[in-house]
Structure 1
């Protein structure tokens, strides 16, 4: 690997995507992709070549590119990521978009909303919400001290103030209530065939075991004690879990229960509004093909691509 061209040929031999190889090479040389193409005979310093070889081998072994370069863009923010956190995925922006709709629909004269991201990981969701709605008081919680440290560093780097909590779901939040609770919890089933491909990411952030619903149901059960009347709970979940999650929300007493679809048109985020006044009930289910906030139903027609997991 003495030249740019030789490095790309070596990467191809390892089975790397050419774009991934060019990204790693460009970062190592601090040059653009266009420069690499026009300078394919440029020599590589020995130290650069050795570092690149190690990175190529990591990528060939399935390590996410974000872990190798140490960062990932999400909702317009460049975030530090490490193997202690999940790599943020674009489909999680479905959760962000719905949350922002709720926040922007609040009366103009109302108090700044309090919201929390449970299982924050890198802080991707909490930071995206704070960046897009600066008036909100945003909290972020994680069970992993290592993950929470990454989120705190991202908040400092981006100058986005958050309030952090270390602990298991509701345990650190006694007596606290919010206008909006969001979460991308572990939801992949323990025997899901996609899990081996995600082996470099923290297993505890991917799956609770069993059918994957345990943490989702824990959040639904405990949310009313931490929501103001009229507050919302939004949960990301697997492509085939919308029916179970929306049913659990309705059974718990949430109103306006519905789901939103991701970029692949899979039912990816379900939510509901806590309305504990007498006579409150979940809305009657309209056409299950609907994609509106008040809709209910399962992910009919889902073909089951790789699970979208993101933090």
Structure 2
């Protein structure tokens, strides 16, 4: 970096370098890196643009810009990503939370509040068991929401924060990912029961009212064609959904037998072109009276929910 005189000049030079390096959102990346090394954000950042660029942060800023120019996601460089208005630590052990997943959380919160207005499951509201009869729930209890594939904890921590009356649990096959999620639940002042294991296996025998998951859904052969930021840096176990990307959904449908009864509310995030197939999987299971598809902000079918009212 040349001897820039102001923070604005540092931003302009970094943005230009990142654009030439083929980075997506070069200006946003430059701003996030500057905010990180300067310790400011929002309005304070914009107010500081005319200030002299501090020599003390030049080395750290240049190192961050170099890493970003090589394709490393800016979130891994600064170690953070905002989700649903809260800060989440992210490392290369976890998928970076995406804005579209916030829509899944919103849907789960909305329908969860409709089904259980006070967050309590009473005997008369027991889920149906596999034979179609009432589940054996003998006393009122907090509803239990389970997040499969916790990653950074974005979904589970947000549910716990937004619906404190709920009991929220989350599982992941990666011990390193669970360590990140546990730090995020502490950081955001929530309580989540994290468990290590494959999909629904850690929750065998647990009465589960809500099941939510943003599982790996990229077809294996498509991973090589992803953006370098995703392909080369995000964990493959959080991306690879098998030959057609649908293996995790099929396996979760099969593993529902591990639970005492199917959840009354289930919600999945999925990839482009997968909504019809995932909705068909839920319909074939026969546990839910409504199957709902939700579009993301680009109008792409992104989430499928099953609901029993």
* Residues in 2 aligned to 1:103 and 1:227: alpha-carbon distance in whole angstroms: 19
Deviation at 1:38? 1.6
Deviation at 1:258? 2.1
* Alignment partner of 1:234 out of 259, 267, 282: 267
The reply to whether residue 207 of structure 1 matches residue 243 of structure 2 is: no
* Residues in 2 aligned to 1:232 and 1:160: alpha-carbon distance in whole angstroms: 22
State the match for 1:159 in structure 2: 189
The reply to whether residue 77 of structure 1 matches residue 86 of structure 2 is: yes
The reply to whether residue 38 of structure 1 matches residue 38 of structure 2 is: no
* Residues in 1 aligned to 2:279 and 2:39: alpha-carbon distance in whole angstroms: 48
* Residues in 2 aligned to 1:169 and 1:249: alpha-carbon distance in whole angstroms: 17
Contact 1:117-1:141 within 8 A present in 2 as well = yes
Runs of 5+ consecutive residues of structure 2 not aligned to the other structure? 20-25, 122-140
Contact 1:14-1:57 within 8 A present in 2 as well = no
Equivalent positions of 1:1-12 (< 5 A) are: 1=1, 2=3, 3-4=5-6, 7-12=10-15
* Residues in 2 aligned to 1:18 and 1:24: alpha-carbon distance in whole angstroms: 10
SS in 2 for 1:14: helix
Equivalent positions of 1:1-311 (< 5 A) are: 1=1, 2=3, 3-4=5-6, 7-16=10-19, 17-31=26-40, 32-39=44-51, 42-45=52-55, 47-105=56-114, 106-108=116-118, 110=121, 111-192=141-222, 193-194=225-226, 196-198=228-230, 199-226=232-259, 228=261, 231-255=264-288, 256-273=290-307
Change (3 A) 1:112 1:202: same
Change (3 A) 1:88 1:227: farther
Contact 1:239-1:268 within 8 A present in 2 as well = yes
SS in 1 for 2:29: helix
Deviation at 1:230? 5.8
SS in 1 for 2:211: strand
Show CA shifts across 1:119-161 (max 9, x none). 0000000011111110000001010000000000111111101
Show CA shifts across 1:170-208 (max 9, x none). 222221120000000000111223264412110110113
SS in 1 for 2:49: helix
Change (3 A) 1:28 1:195: closer
Change (3 A) 1:123 1:141: same
* Residues in 1 aligned to 2:251 and 2:144: alpha-carbon distance in whole angstroms: 21
Contact 1:260-1:270 within 8 A present in 2 as well = yes
Runs of 5+ consecutive residues of structure 1 not aligned to the other structure? 276-311
Show CA shifts across 1:21-73 (max 9, x none). 1332233123433244222xx2432x521111110011112222211111111
Show CA shifts across 1:227-255 (max 9, x none). 64562221111121011111111111132
TM-score (norm 1): 0.81
Change (3 A) 1:153 1:14: same
Root mean square deviation, CA, Å: 2.1
Aligned residues: 272
After TM superposition, the runs of 4+ consecutive aligned structure 1 residues lying more than 4 A away are none
* Residues in 1 aligned to 2:186 and 2:146: alpha-carbon distance in whole angstroms: 18
